[in-house]
């Protein structure tokens, strides 16, 4: 990555850090459908930084409600 560049898609580690939760809590939230759906690239999952910001601004609804709003 270029110095100073901000990734658009985040690993679970970075997404958890952005949200201020542990990686294990983040995975539990994902399994329970409490965070936006990840983008899949083969077996790799990445979360959109932009979507996570919008989701928090929207009050952190569960995945089903979030997808209805979008």
- The CA-CA-CA angle for residues 6, 32, 8, to 5°, reads 10
Place of tokens 């898609």: 9
Give me the mean pLDDT over the 56-67 stretch. 97
pLDDT of residue 1: 67
| The model's pTM | 0.90
Whole-angstrom distance, CA of residue 10 vs CA of residue 18: 9
pLDDT of residue 29: 98
Whole-angstrom distance, CA of residue 53 vs CA of residue 64: 17
Whole-angstrom distance, CA of residue 39 vs CA of residue 8: 12
Domain ranges of the chain: 9-69
At 4, is the pLDDT very low, low, confident or very high (cuts 50, 70, 90)? Answer: confident
Q: pLDDT by residue (tens digit) across 12-56?
A: 999 999 999 999 999 999 999 999 999 999 999 999 999 999 999
């Amino acid at each position: 990555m270029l110095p100073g560049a901000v990734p658009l898609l985040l690993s679970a580690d970075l997404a958890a850090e952005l949200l201020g939760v542990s990686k294990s809590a983040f995975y539990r939230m994902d399994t329970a459908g409490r965070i936006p759906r990840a983008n899949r690239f083969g077996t790799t999952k990445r979360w959109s930084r932009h979507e996570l910001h919008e989701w928090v601004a929207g009050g952190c609804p569960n995945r089903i409600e979030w997808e209805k709003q979008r």
